[in-house]
Amino acid sequence: MKGKFYRSVVRPAMLYGAECWAVKKTHVRHLNAAEMRMLRWMCGKTRLDRISNEVIQRQVGMAPMEDKLWEARLRWFGHVRRRDVDAHVRRCESITVIGGSRGRGRPRKNWKEMIRQDLGLLELTEDMALDRNLWKTRIRVAGYELGVVEVEPGVSWKQPPYFRVGARSAYTHPPQTLLLWDSTGLLLLSLT
């Protein structure tokens, strides 16, 4: 019950507007630390109990904060990409600021770079966003929260399974449901 409340009230408040953020690693660490403090408090555990963050997240049924950040960014990107080229959202996407002087050092990471990084991480292309259903299934992290885990394309379910949870890979306990996807994103096999 606490996990459902956290997922429906607290996390959306923490990630409000996250689809437009170009976050740094330090920002992700701060968000993750704040979330883990709340989850540990919710479970009645402290750092002194020496229980890892992954175990706490698994107990509560919570996907990692970083995965939810890129899910929000990619969801918004798909929405923008499916709009007409003449739509205001699409025109704003290509605006460049002229004038002014740039400071020293590396340019700041912008939203487009974050999207490119997220697409590479999940092995997606921009054109996949045009198919709404395919896009929705490929970027969704909620399977982790529901106990559903995808098997990597081409991996047999009889082998010691190499599970993919969002963008992270880990050997985990056998899930309740295994889904086998092909390279185009179509469901090939569902084992329960």
Q: Is the model's pLDDT at 26 over the cut of 90?
A: yes
Q: Which H or E run includes 150?
A: strand 148-151
| pTM exceeds 0.75 for this model | no
pLDDT digits (tens, 9 = 90+) for 153-167: 444 333 333 333 444
Q: What is the pLDDT of residues 56-109, one digit of tens each?
A: 888 888 888 888 998 999 999 999 999 988 888 888 777 777 777 778 888 888
Give the tokens for residue 121: 């991480």
C-alpha distances out from residue 107 to 36, 69, 110, 123, Å: 31, 22, 9, 25
CA 153 to chain centre: 19
Residue pLDDT, tens place only, 178-190: 555 555 555 555 4
Split at pLDDT 50, 70, 90, the class of 191 is low
Q: What is the pLDDT of residue 170?
A: 37
Which residue did the predictor score with more confidence, 143 or 127? 127
3-7 long-range CB contacts below 8 Å, 24 or more apart?
3/42, 3/60, 3/61, 3/62, 6/38, 6/39, 6/42, 6/60, 6/62, 7/62, 7/145
Tokens of 137: 């299934």
Mean pLDDT of 135-148: 66
Exposure string over 121-149, b if 16+ CB within 10 A, otherwise e = eeebeeebbeeeebbebbbbbebbbeebb
Paired tokens of 153: 């394309």
- Percent of the chain residues topping a pLDDT of 90: 26
What is the average pLDDT score of the chain?
76
Is 110's pLDDT higher than 60?
Answer: yes
Contact 165/171 with Cβ under 8 angstroms?
A: no
Six token digits for residue 122: 């999940």
Output the pLDDT for position 75.
94
pLDDT at 171: 35
What is the number of helices (H) and of strands (E) in the chain? 9, 5
